[in-house]
Amino acid sequence: MKGRGFVQGSILMIMINLIVRSVDFIYDVILSKYIGAEGLGLFQMARSVLMIFLVISTAGLPTAIARLVAEYRSKNNYASIRKILIVSILLALSFAAIFSLIIFIFAENIAVEAFKNDNLIAPIYFLIPSIILLPLTITLRGYYYGLNAIMVPSVSQIIEHVGQLLIVFGMLYMAYPMEPKLGATIAIWGIAIGEVLDLIWLTVMLRKSNKGPYNPILRKESGLNILKKIFSISAPIAVGDIVSVILGFANSIFIPRRLMAIGYTNSEAVSTLGRISGMAMPLISLPFIVTGAIAINLVPNLSENMALKRYSMVKHNIKFAIKMTLLVAIPVTGLFLFYSQPLGYFIYEDIHVGQFIKFMAYGTVFFALEHTFSGILNGLNKQVAATKNRLIGLTLQVFCIYSLVGHPKFGINGYFIGFFLSRWVIFLLDRISIKRRVKLKLDYGDLILKPIMATAIMLVVIYICKTVLVGIGFQGLIGLLISIVAGGLAYILVLFATGAIPRKLLERLLG
Tens digits of per-residue pLDDT, 196-249? Answer: 999 999 998 887 765 555 555 556 667 788 888 888 887 877 777 777 777 777
Q: Is the pLDDT of residue 19 over 90?
A: no
Q: What is the mean pLDDT of residues 101-123?
A: 86
**How does 362-375 read in b/e, with b if 16+ C-beta sit within 10 Å?**
bbbbbbbbbbbbbb
Please give the Cα distance from 412 to 495 (Å, whole number): 37
Q: Is the pLDDT of residue 45 over 90?
A: no
The answer to pTM > 0.85 is no
- Residue 440, classed as helix, strand or coil, is coil
Say what the pLDDT of residue 343 is.
87
pLDDT single digits (tens) 354-370 = 889 999 999 999 999 99
350: which residues sit within 8 A by CB, 6+ positions away?
32, 37, 275, 279, 344
Sequential DSSP letters for 293-313: HHHHHHHHHHHHHHHTT-HHH
Considering only residues 21 and 323, tell me which one the structure prediction assigns the higher pLDDT: 323
Angle, alpha carbons 283-137-228 (nearest 5°): 110
* Cα first-last separation, the chain: 17
**Residue 214 carries which DSSP code?**
P
Q: Are 176 and 39 in contact (CB under 8 A)?
A: no
Q: Is the pLDDT of residue 509 over 60?
A: no
Q: What is the mean pLDDT of residues 34-51?
A: 84
180: which residues sit within 8 A by CB, 6+ positions away?
35, 36, 38, 39, 41, 42, 119
The pLDDT confidence band at residue 507, using thresholds 50, 70 and 90, is low
**How does 85-101 read in b/e, with b if 16+ C-beta sit within 10 Å?**
bebbeebbeebbeebbe
Q: Is the pLDDT of residue 451 over 90?
A: yes
Tell me, rounded to whole angstroms, the distance of Cα 504 from its chain centroid.
30
Q: Is the pLDDT of residue 294 over 70?
A: yes
Q: Is the pLDDT of residue 504 over 70?
A: no
Please give the Cα distance from 307 to 282 (Å, whole number): 37
Q: What is the mean pLDDT of residues 294-317?
A: 78
Say what the pLDDT of residue 345 is.
86
Please give the Cα distance from 429 to 96 (Å, whole number): 34
